[in-house]
Structure 1
Amino acid sequence: MWSRQRWFIADTRGEAAMLVLVAVAFIALDLPVGLVGPPTTGAAGPYAGIALQVCVDVSVLLLARAPRMVALFALAAALLMLGSDLFAPGLLVPADPIVLATVPSATPFIAYALTKYADRRQALAIVGALTLLAAQPWAPSWSTTPFGVLNTAVPALLALYLRARAELLSSLRDRAERAEREQHLRAQQARADERRRLATEMHDAVTHEVSMIVLQAGALRVTTTDPESRAAAETIRTSGTRAIEELRDIIGLLRDDPTAQLRHRLDTTGDSGHGAGDRRPDPATLVAESRAAGHPVDLVVDGDPAPVSPVVARTGYRVVQEALTNARKHAPGGGTTVDLRYRDDGMLIEVRNAAATRAPDPDLAGSGSGSGLDGLRQRVELVGGALRAAAAADGGYQVSAILPAQPPTADPDGQET
């Protein structure tokens, strides 16, 4: 492959090729004109004018690296040509030249490139001097003045226009990117505000109502004498207490960034397995609840859950919970199997339910938001796992999840490890 270092005359291969082509083009133009036209008759020899023009043409190769030096060399050549024309006819310019210009033929390109590459004020000063020598305002003539301006000032003005246009486009592009970033930040802020509003609503309304249910269930458990009613009240109270804990977690996720919340749980857990993050819920309790509600569930557990971190275990608990909830809603009477396989590198969860044996309760089936699996998939992906949910060939449904033993964490540079 071509590298930038090979093109020592320019930064890119295309730019270097352009300079070579321009230099060759001017040499190919000056040599025939100098050889066909009258030779110089001064002490420098008959090819002094051609040699001077070719030297300026070759210097074009250095325009990208030393534009001011090339322009000053062209200016010096123009001064020599003008001095020869005024004080020593025939020395560097033939006494009866074919071309009446008193500046090198490569001057238009040099003026253009100088304005493009060099400092603007220095470029305009040098181009102004070249224009003065080419136009010869002290002896204005239709054969020299218009062509002098055309060969020097016009290319520089064109370069200024293109340079200003490129700067304007770059400014507009930067402004558009900045506006897009600001719009993205405003959208993020709006989402954060909405999350906080939802968290406040859940805290003020839902948590209050569930707390009232827990209190009433506790009072019923104390006052009732019926054992079945006391057991049902205790179940309601326990479920309500657990729901309040889950609502606290959800409110925390809504108020804070989910990734930050996960990292906080990881930080509080550590390697010792102690702390707030060491709550390791048991999916067997979900199976027992489903059985108590009249839904047949088989539980298969293989392996030791100890290598799985509490955060991942909690996510696995959510997978089983959501799958069993959907099975009770949409497939009443159909048997369900919960298969949990623990390994050193993670866990595999499969919840399969058979087709419903009776019609679902329309109120219960329509009570969900329809986004439970989507939210569950996001939660599984947050800990580095993968979730799959699809209908089975026998009319049932299967939810599968693969979870790592440890969720991904972030290094100081913000990259996942």
Structure 2
Amino acid sequence: MATPPTEVGAATPSTQVIGRAGRGYRVLVRQQAKEQDHPTEAVFLLVAAVLLFAGLDVLYALLGSRTTGPAGPWAGLALRLVLDVAVLAALRAPILVTWLMIAGAGALQLSELVSPGLLVATPVIGGDPLTLSVTPVVVNVVVQVRNQRSTWVLVGILTLLATRPWDPSWLTVSLGLLITGVPALLGRYLVARRNLMANLRERAERTDREQRLLAEQARAEERARLAAEMHDVVTHRVSLMVLQAGAIEVTATDPETRRAAEGLRDAGMQALDELRDLVGVFGGERTGESPSVGPPAPRVELRELVDASGAAGVDVRLRCTGDADAVPVAVLRTAHRVVQEALTNVHKHAPGGRVHVDVRYAGDAVTVAVTNTAATADPVLAPTGSGSGLRGLGERVAIIGGTLEAGPCPEGGFAVRARLPVGR
């Protein structure tokens, strides 16, 4: 079954249809089409065209082109004005308006045969008195709104009435084709062009979505490859180092050597734990917790970063709220990296400015906000920046499922804000 057409210029119905059950589906689409609004430009053009042709009909009547039958001198003008006003409903009921036009054209020709002068005004000032002046508008609108086989049948009937092949003449045939065939072809061209533009927009949007999906897939594959390399190569080498350090600790007779081997073994096992966390982040989600193979890794302290920046001449204020002990080490390390990169940018681009570091540890996420005022000294180190620090930081934050925002402040200065989920 062919897809029921929708109205030209209206939005596609957003109601989801589970099945096309014959008549019920057609009724649903018809109800949705009635509820849709047409573009303001189409309504404006239709009203302007109706006013134009109605004004021409009134002008012809005032210039002396009136009916002479028993219905009075204004009978023909009244019929034409009624049909002109009916065209205003062409966007809502195009088939009904077309039938009205056919009936009106048939009434004019029948009255000319049965009772000349009843509905056809004399004398004729211009054009064909048996042709309705608003016919081109109706033909163009009905072809655009309802581009169906039945629509073209109605257009063909109007063409026959306009050309009158039973009483042919060069003027009648050429004028009839001009007011029916040309508007129909123009309407068909506008429909085809509108559909082509819609298809091109849809294709461009689909291509853009596919490119984003391919980019995400490439990033996921690259992360999986890095995770595999870290697991197969780096973890293997570090494991060998830990085993060798343990062997030295057992076989060595010198106490200093045993202590050094013990420290090396502990550091190697800590590295294995950190590598395991990174492999889990790169390679995907893990179920359950893996047992630790070494002592806990040393905590990353933000105070050390703040003290180092203070020693370099930067006024940094640090405020930490919440319990940091309940936050995974990977999240703490990422927060440490956010503060480090923000302070590095302050050293380069805003020397002499004041910096506020606000870190909040919550049960669901860690929020980091680093804001600084404008520079008060010459940023001599600014040309050394490549701009890749924040991009790499954003990628690192995204790996653990967080978000990073960085940009200038309205009152001056710069701000870096990150939200790092704890659940990941």
TM range (shorter): 0.5 to 0.7
Paired residues in the alignment total: 334
**1:319 to 1:50, Cα distance in 2 relative to 1, 3 A:** closer
Q: How many angstroms apart in 1 are the aligned matches of 2:302 and 2:395? A: 21
Contact 1:9 1:61 (8 Å CA) reproduced = no
Q: 1:168 to 1:287 in 2, by over 3 A?
A: closer
AA at the equivalent of 1:306:
D
State yes or no: 1:310 paired with 2:310: no
| Offset, 1:303 | 6.8
Displacement after TM superposition at 1:318 (Å): 4.6
- The aligned counterpart of 1:44 is 71
Q: Distance in 2 between matches of 1:385 and 1:9?
A: 40
- Sort the Cα spacing of 1:214 and 1:74 in 2 relative to 1 into closer, same or farther, 3 A: same
| Residues 372-391 of structure 1 aligned to structure 2 (within 5 Å) | 375-380=392-397, 384=402
Query: Any conservation in 2 of the 1:43–1:91 contact (CA below 8 Å)?
Result: yes
How far did 1:124 drift? Answer: 0.8
Alpha-carbon distance between aligned partners in 2 of 1:12 and 1:77, rounded to the nearest angstrom: 29
TM-score in terms of structure 2 length: 0.67
In structure 2, what is the equivalent of residue 187 of structure 1?
215
Change (3 A) 1:341 1:26: closer
Partner of 1:116: 144
Displacement of 1:384 after TM fit? 4.9
2:239 corresponds in structure 1 to: 211
* Unmatched 5+ stretches in structure 1: 1-7, 269-274, 289-299, 328-338, 351-369, 389-399, 411-417
Q: Which amino acid in 2 is paired with 1:158?
A: L
Contact preservation (8 Å) 2:270, 2:296: no
- Whole-angstrom CA distance in 2 between matches of 1:208 and 1:169: 57
Within-5 A mapping of 1:126-165:
126-165=154-193
Deviations 1:36-91 (A, max 9, x none): 13321112111111111111111121111111111111111000011112222101
Q: Which amino acid aligns with 2:75?
A: A
Q: Is the 8 A contact 1:319 1:401 kept in 2?
A: no
Deviations 1:256-309 (A, max 9, x none): 2xxxx4xx78xx6xxxxxx66999965269999xxxxxxxxxxx9987753674
Determine whether 1:170 maps to 2:198.
Answer: yes
Task: Provide the secondary structure at the position in 1 that maps to 2:189.
Answer: helix
| Deviations 1:356-395 (CA, angstroms, capped at 9, x unpaired) | xxxxxxxxxxxxxx9787545544465657699xxxxxxx
The alpha-carbon distance between structure 1 residues 281 and 42, as it changes in their structure 2 partners (threshold 3 A), is farther
* Secondary structure class of the residue paired with 1:33: helix
Query: Quick one: which amino acid aligns to residue 407 of structure 1?
Result: P
Q: What is the SS of the residue equivalent to 1:40?
A: coil
Distance 1:104 1:246, change over 3 A: same
Structure 2 residue aligned with 1:32 = 59
1:224 corresponding residue in structure 2: 252
63-72 or 16-25, larger mean C-alpha shift: 16-25
Q: CA deviation at 1:122?
A: 2.1
TM-score norm. by structure 1 comes to 0.68
Residues 101/249 of structure 1: CA separation in 2 closer, same or farther (3 Å cut): farther
Q: Deviations over 1:101-127 (max 9, x none)?
A: 422100001100010112421221111
Tell me how far 1:34 sits from its aligned partner: 1.9
CA distance in 2, matches of 1:9, 1:342: 52
More divergent stretch after superposition (52-61 vs 165-174): 165-174
Q: CA 1:280–1:26 in structure 2 vs 1: closer, same or farther (change >3 Å)?
A: farther
Task: Give the Å deviation of 1:316.
Answer: 2.1
Q: Give identity over the alignment, percent.
A: 39
Q: In the superposition, relative to structure 1, how do residues 10 and 214 fare at CA in structure 2: closer, same or farther (>3 Å)?
A: closer
Which range moved further: 69-78 or 87-96? 87-96
Alpha-carbon distance in structure 1 between the residues aligned to 2:204 and 2:405: 38
* Aligned-partner Cα distance in 1 for 2:210–2:57: 57
Corresponding residue for 1:196? 224
- In structure 2, what is the equivalent of residue 407 of structure 1? 421
Report the AA paired with residue 118 of structure 2: L
